[in-house]
């Protein structure tokens, strides 16, 4: 009879993962962790290589025969082209300062999500294929060869990085791990390995101007629809203009604001703000061609980013505007503020942005000529140009999620908070090491806002959710505001899973609630069409008062009736008495 281990021993399953160096441990590509592969039609539209139907779950990724040569040539080219990239490949001392700063590592516990190790995936190939020490000593010198499994591992982990740059904030050498991911994704692109959620929007954006591929008439129609909703709420119908030549300002916002909730409510906020200001001299137009502020080319390659971005200046030039105003967006803002001028400039046909309402010159936008709407609105409030009733946002206890690109990428901290403190009465920041430049990513940026990796996104979202939970417990926060379209779309899933009591909004949605339009009717609901909680109370009070009035009237009427009856009775009695008396008198006379 076979020897059976005692029950205690049988029940003690050792779950400890085996101790192995990361190089020796091949990546296991798990479903639900990788995004769907890009479609051939989208490659063809923009001319990207290797269009074919494939899935990261397949054994064979249908790479060209000389795939290693293509990859290594691409790597060599980028090492020569980008000095920063070469330095980042050489300089890391693996101190580990960045290792526990990534939201994906914090939430998942997968060591290959440590920024240092994610970068090391590519750095090891650089060493193994390009440096003498690495070529000779291999693993001892931290080098390895580019194999099929290694290539798959690169894909797996470079699409588990949101390019949020939190890690780079803590690197003593200033290594920007996001840039390594950017280059890594470019190299994957050379072999046609991108994800559907990025390539679909890229192809759509290239053909129709926005991620969903919405044509101009549908874009126009959606905004008209919002205007009708605004009319229902306020009694005022905004009349925005589209593609209007000669306007002073061109407004460009992420298409998510126009099509996806809750961004749509933010778009309503923009429309209301522009309507309010038009009477004061704002001359602004929307464009149905430059109908996308976002740029998924940024998550594909530098060249693709440039191609998709070019429509902004082109449309500004076509319409003859003086400057560009940008909606609430994160990566759009980084692309516009930091790359656009270099890529598609000089924008010498535009003027340095100057607010027509306050006269403020936006010196920070001298070169690229584009202003973020939060800068614009904060300036309006500062100059007392907006008539606001923050109490309309009283149902909300608000916090603010700093988007990675606007905050860490740009130092954009105060404007959104300044606006919030003027449009709502109850604002609470999350803990200091989770906001501003140390902000935690939503877990879905850089094209990872797709639903097939929801597990991964929820792990990445945990650090943000945990900080939000804190202010929810401590202050009763029930609304997380943000200034990024991807955030607005994806934070909703985050709160639904981690803290269902909280909602997500853009800042201009709250501004739309608070803004008092001239001639508006009494507001009874917010931009979401939700009735203010005090409306019911007011209605009840009014009903009670009305009922009281009716009762009083009824009581008065009754009293009058009673009095009349009494008087009548009295008259009758008197009459009867008189008759009786007369009869008596008559009888006496007769006697």
Residue ranges in contact with other proteins by CB under 8 A: 8, 11-13, 15-17, 19, 30, 33, 99-100, 105-111, 114, 212, 214, 218, 221-222, 225, 259-262, 264, 431, 433-434, 451-452, 454-456, 458-459, 462-463, 465-467, 470, 489-490, 492-493, 496-498
Integer Cα distance of 167 and 177 in angstroms: 7
Instruction: Reply yes or no: is the peptide bond before residue 440 cis, omega within 30 of 0.
Output: no
Distance of CA 119 to the CA centre of its chain: 27
- Pick the closer one to other proteins by CB: 467 or 480: 467
CB 112, min distance to other proteins, A: 9
- Pick the closer one to other proteins by CB: 264 or 481: 264
Phi/psi for 321 (5° steps) reads -75, 170
Residue 427 β-bridge partners: 398
- Please say whether the beta carbons of 396 and 424 come within 8 A: yes
Q: What is the DSSP secondary structure assignment for residue 51, as one 8-state letter? A: -
- Pick the closer one to other proteins by CB: 17 or 246: 17
Measured in residues, the chain has a length of: 591
- Pick the closer one to other proteins by CB: 7 or 246: 7
3 state SS of 289: coil
C-alpha dihedral sign at 391, 282, 406, 379: negative
Q: What is the DSSP secondary structure assignment for residue 340, as one 8-state letter? A: I
CB 222, min distance to other proteins, A: 6
CB 528, min distance to other proteins, A: 12
CB 485, min distance to other proteins, A: 11
CB 115, min distance to other proteins, A: 13
- Pick the closer one to other proteins by CB: 2 or 13: 13
- Pick the closer one to other proteins by CB: 186 or 487: 487
Residue 37 β-bridge partners: 195
Burial of 159 (0-12, 13-18, 19+ CB in 10 A): buried
CB 310, min distance to other proteins, A: 26
Q: Of 93, 73, 95, 75, nearest to 85 (Cα)?
A: 75
What angle do helix axes 373-382 and 507-514 make, rounded to 10 degrees? 30
- Pick the closer one to other proteins by CB: 202 or 282: 202
How much helix, strand and coil, in percent to the nearest 5, is found in the chain?
Answer: 55, 5, 35
- Pick the closer one to other proteins by CB: 117 or 517: 117
CB 537, min distance to other proteins, A: 30
- Distance (Å) of CA 266 to CA 258, 441, 483, 484: 9, 21, 10, 11
- Please say whether the beta carbons of 75 and 187 come within 8 A: yes
- Pick the closer one to other proteins by CB: 82 or 497: 497
- Please say whether the beta carbons of 269 and 512 come within 8 A: yes
CB 238, min distance to other proteins, A: 17
CB 488, min distance to other proteins, A: 10
């Amino acid at each position: 009879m076979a020897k059976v281990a005692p029950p205690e021993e049988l029940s003690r399953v050792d779950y400890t993962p085996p101790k192995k160096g990361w190089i020796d441990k091949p990546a296991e590509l798990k479903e639900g962790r990788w995004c769907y592969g890009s479609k051939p039609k989208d490659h063809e539209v923009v001319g990207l290589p290797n269009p074919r139907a494939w899935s990261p779950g397949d054994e064979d990724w249908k790479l060209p025969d000389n795939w290693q040569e293509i990859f290594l040539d691409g790597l060599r080219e980028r090492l020569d082209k980008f000095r920063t990239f070469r330095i980042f490949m050489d300089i890391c001392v693996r101190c580990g300062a960045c290792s526990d700063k990534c939201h994906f590592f914090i939430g998942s516990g997968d060591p290959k999500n440590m920024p240092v190790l994610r970068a090391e995936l590519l750095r090891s190939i650089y060493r193994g294929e390009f440096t003498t020490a690495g070529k000779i000593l291999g693993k001892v010198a931290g080098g390895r060869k580019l194999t099929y499994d290694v290539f798959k591992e690169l894909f797996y982990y470079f699409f588990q990085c949101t390019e949020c740059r939190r890690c780079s904030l803590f690197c003593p050498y200033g290594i920007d791990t996001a840039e390594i991911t950017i280059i890594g994704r470019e190299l994957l692109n050379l072999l046609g390995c991108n994800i559907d959620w990025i390539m679909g929007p890229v192809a759509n954006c290239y053909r129709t101007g926005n991620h969903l591929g919405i044509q101009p008439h549908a874009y126009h129609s959606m905004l008209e629809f919002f205007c009708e909703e605004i009319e229902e709420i306020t009694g005022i119908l905004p009349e925005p203009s589209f593609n209007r030549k000669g306007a002073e300002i061109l407004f460009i916002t992420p298409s998510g604001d126009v099509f996806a909730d809750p961004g749509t409510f933010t778009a309503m906020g923009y429309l209301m703000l522009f309507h309010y200001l038009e009477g004061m001299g704002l001359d602004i137009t929307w464009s149905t061609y430059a109908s996308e502020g976002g740029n998924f080319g940024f998550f594909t390659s530098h060249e693709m980013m440039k191609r998709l971005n070019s429509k902004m200046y082109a449309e500004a030039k076509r319409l003859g505007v003086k400057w560009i105003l940008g909606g609430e967006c994160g990566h759009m803002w980084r692309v516009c503020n930091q790359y656009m001028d270099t890529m598609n400039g000089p924008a010498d046909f535009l003027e340095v942005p100057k607010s027509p309402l306050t006269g403020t010159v936006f010196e920070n936008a001298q070169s690229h000529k584009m202003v973020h709407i939060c800068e614009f609105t904060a300036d309006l409030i500062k100059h007392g140009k907006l008539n606001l009733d923050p109490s309309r946002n009283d149902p909300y206890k608000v916090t603010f999620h700093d988007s990675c690109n606007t905050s860490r990428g740009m130092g954009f901290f105060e404007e959104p908070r300044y606006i919030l403190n003027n449009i709502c009465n109850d604002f609470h920041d999350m803990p200091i090491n989770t906001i501003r430049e140390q902000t935690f990513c939503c877990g879905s940026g850089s094209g990872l806002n797709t639903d097939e990796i929801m597990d991964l996104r929820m792990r990445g979202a945990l650090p943000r959710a945990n900080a939000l939970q804190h202010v929810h417990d401590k202050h009763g926060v029930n609304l997380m505001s943000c200034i990024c379209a991807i955030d607005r779309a994806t934070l909703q899933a985050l709160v639904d899973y981690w803290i269902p009591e909280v909602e997500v909004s853009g800042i201009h949605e709250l501004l739309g609630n608070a803004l008092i339009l001239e001639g508006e009717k009494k507001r009874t609901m917010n931009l979401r069409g939700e009735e203010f909680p005090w409306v019911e109370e007011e209605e009840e009070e009014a009903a009670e008062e009305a009922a009281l009035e009716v009762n009083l009237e009824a009581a008065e009427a009754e009293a009058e009736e009673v009095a009349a009856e009494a008087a009548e009775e009295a008259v009758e009695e008197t009459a009867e008495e008189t008759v009786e008396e007369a009869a008596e008198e008559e009888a006496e006379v007769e006697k």
